[in-house]
Amino acid sequence: MKKYICAFLFAAFFVLLRTSAYAQDFYVDAAQGSDSAQGSALQPFKTIQKAADTVKSGDTVIVREGVYYENVKITASGTEEKPIVFRAENGEKGKTVITGADKRIRENKNNVWELFDKEKNIYRTKLERENMLMRVLYNDMDLYMYPTYEGLETYTTIAQKDANYMAGLKNGYYMDCENGYLYVRLRKDEKYGSVNPNKNRMAVSPERCSVYTDKDKTQKEVLAVTGIDEKSSLISVETENAANVVLYGFTLETPGFAGVYVRASNVTVSNCFFIGCACGVKGGSKYLYDMYSSDDVTVEYCDYTQAPTFDDIFEMMKENYKNPDVRRRSNYWFLKKQTSSAAGNLTAGVSYESGGFVGSMGKRWILRNNYIHNCFDGMSWYANWLYNDPTPDEFENPNKWSSDYEMYENRFENCIDNFLETEFNLDGADIHHNEFINSPDGFSLQTGRGKPFPTNIRFHHNIMYNDYDFAKAWYTYASNENLKSGKMANFFKLGIPTSDFKNPAAHMKNEPWDYERDMPKNNVRLSDGGLCIYNNTIYGPYSYLFNCIGFFALSQPSETDNHNVSLKNNIIVSMTKFEGNTRSWLNIGDAAESLGGFLYSNNVFLPYSDDKSPQNSYMFGKY
């Protein structure tokens, strides 16, 4: 009997030894670990980077609770059968944090903030930076970036009441790069935490760098908007072959730009929390002429927020909509775009539109079961834009465009600009079974620099709605002072910029597609495949179905042609189909015809009737 037991134990040990040779579990503990340890449960590593440098195909890295001040770079590859897994031991929000925040300020062991202006509750701390910071948070709440110290004092973007004058938010920061001071002003009502930053958890991100040093120590210019440098992400996956890497359960806080950067294929990001991340998960290139497309990336069960962006901007609108100086701008709520026209000479690189939940997608990305909320844009134009200035070679290479992504069972809620933008370089998107709640311009398709334009977009089996309080408030607060009526929210915003026709970029004139030949100005339309909207339920008090701008609103299609935009089998409740009353060519006609450039088939349109404004409702009927 002993003989058989010994034989069994030997065999079991051999199997265990053989298994361990192919797959191991490594542990990381920021508080108790050491990078000279074995990486075992009893002798963990101290840094995630040490584990990343150690792992092989099939291994799992288990990261214990704590705060990790790291920029982790993963270069090891797994296989489809034996992926490499990095997972937080406790995947709850805020338990296993990877942060780009300044450690001295975040840990604040010696009250690093000094009271600079007692009357206005402005504090400052010494912080050497050459450029504006990407994000500053207190207790996970995003602070507005003021372009000047005077703006921080007055809660305005600039002091002069000219066309760029905009009201700011009640919490913000200013970076004095010349003298090396960071100034913050927190809400006096202490809605999100103490007015004294020493009593809050302050997370100050790095600046977004403009130069990338490659593996040969050669400095290269980072792409101005879409690129990223070594320290701009918290986790980067960069492999020569398919990565087959899984990231699970991390809280990613205040990077230089992206929470996760993927310069690889076959990567899964699951159950992660993105806080203070200009971009959640970014693919594509780092620098000019890298020309990389990150394919087959899955992002699932994640939480992405820019809180309290939606709440604070809406509060600003409510308090300023009667102020003629503020209302001089028709889009005075756009302050977080942070471009030269919107917020006083701040570059697009720090704009809340130059980022969002995902960025620079390649082929076949899957976005599922995520919660994207309290944002400027849930997914901006940046999601589909791989390069700054497409060249003819890029135009002809189908691998260099965002294409064939699928997005389902996600929840987008409270986005101050758009839920998602399918703009620029996109060929193929399947957007289905999602829930979209509260946005003034929900789904945006403003074409430009495309292949030739976004096409083959299917939007189906979704629920879109604006609740009454939001939609009525937007109608009240959002219009320009010169408008006689309020500005309605919209579910679909469609447009083709006139600049693309007046001064088309070089690649727009290339074969197999030519602007003058294939897109005559009297019949502007999307490419074949276009946008198909079907089997959705759409509900919108004080909301239009479409907001048509650019050539969509100006050109008169013929009776037989359409814009390659079709609506089929939808149930729609809204105030009117189209924004405004001057676009008579958009009026609804008979069923199954090309109606004002749009094809309708078997939809049910129901009027929204407000007892106080019955004149605003129209019965559309079934088309």
Q: Is 17 exposed, middle or buried (0-12, 13-18, 19+ CB in 10 A)?
A: exposed
Q: Tell me the pTM.
A: 0.89
Rounded Cα distance, 10 and 589, in Å: 82
Asked whether residue 344 carries a pLDDT value surpassing 80, the answer given is no
Residue with the bigger pLDDT between 352 and 348: it is 352
Q: Is 432 exposed, middle or buried (0-12, 13-18, 19+ CB in 10 A)?
A: middle
CB atoms within 10 A of CB 244: 25
Rounded Cα distance, 190 and 271, in Å: 31
27-47 tens-digit pLDDT:
999 999 999 999 999 999 999
Strand locations in 249-302 (E) = 251-253, 258-263, 267-270, 273-275, 279-282, 297-300
**Per-residue pLDDT at 523:** 57
Asked whether residue 197 carries a pLDDT value surpassing 80, the answer given is yes
Helices (H) and strands (E) in the chain, counts: 11, 46
User: Which two tokens mark 372?
Assistant: 């994207």
**Per-residue pLDDT at 351:** 82
433-486 tens-digit pLDDT:
999 999 999 999 887 655 557 889 999 999 999 999 998 888 888 865 444 445
Mean pLDDT for the stretch of residues 524-530: 75
Mean pLDDT for the stretch of residues 337-350: 56
Mean pLDDT for the stretch of residues 263-273: 97
Q: What is the DSSP letter of 348?
A: G
pLDDT band at 140 (very low <50, low <70, confident <90, very high): very high
Rounded Cα distance, 146 and 424, in Å: 29
**Per-residue pLDDT at 245:** 98
**Per-residue pLDDT at 220:** 81
**Per-residue pLDDT at 202:** 98
Residue with the bigger pLDDT between 558 and 4: it is 558
For residue 60, the surrounding DSSP H or E stretch is strand 60-63
pLDDT band at 399 (very low <50, low <70, confident <90, very high): low
**Per-residue pLDDT at 494:** 83
DSSP assignments along 436-485, one per residue = EE--TEEEEEE--SSSSS-EEEEEES-EEE--HHHHHHHHHHSS-TT-SS
Asked whether residue 369 carries a pLDDT value surpassing 50, the answer given is yes
- 220-229, 488-497, 530-539: range with highest mean pLDDT: 530-539
**Per-residue pLDDT at 561:** 61
What is the length of the chain? 623
Rounded Cα distance, 311 and 206, in Å: 25
pLDDT band at 570 (very low <50, low <70, confident <90, very high): very high
Mean pLDDT for the stretch of residues 496-502: 60
Among 420, 74, 90, CA closest to 267: 74
User: Which two tokens mark 191?
Assistant: 């809605």
Residue with the bigger pLDDT between 88 and 612: it is 88
Helix intervals (H) in 209-328: 309-320
pLDDT band at 384 (very low <50, low <70, confident <90, very high): confident
Q: Do 253 and 203 touch, CB atoms closer than 8 A? A: yes
Among 219, 211, 220, 224, CA closest to 387: 224
DSSP-assigned beta bridge partners for residue 574: 607
Q: What are phi and psi of 66, to 5 degrees?
A: 150, 180
Q: What are phi and psi of 468, to 5 degrees?
A: -60, -50
Q: What are phi and psi of 123, to 5 degrees?
A: -110, 160
Asked whether residue 254 carries a pLDDT value surpassing 90, the answer given is yes
Residues 6+ apart with CB under 8 A from 225: 348, 349, 354, 382, 385, 388
Q: Do 115 and 277 touch, CB atoms closer than 8 A? A: no
Asked whether residue 306 carries a pLDDT value surpassing 70, the answer given is yes
Helix crossing, 309-320 with 468-477: angle to 10°?
A: 50
**What does pLDDT average to over the chain?**
82
Asked whether residue 343 carries a pLDDT value surpassing 50, the answer given is no
Q: Do 335 and 159 touch, CB atoms closer than 8 A? A: no
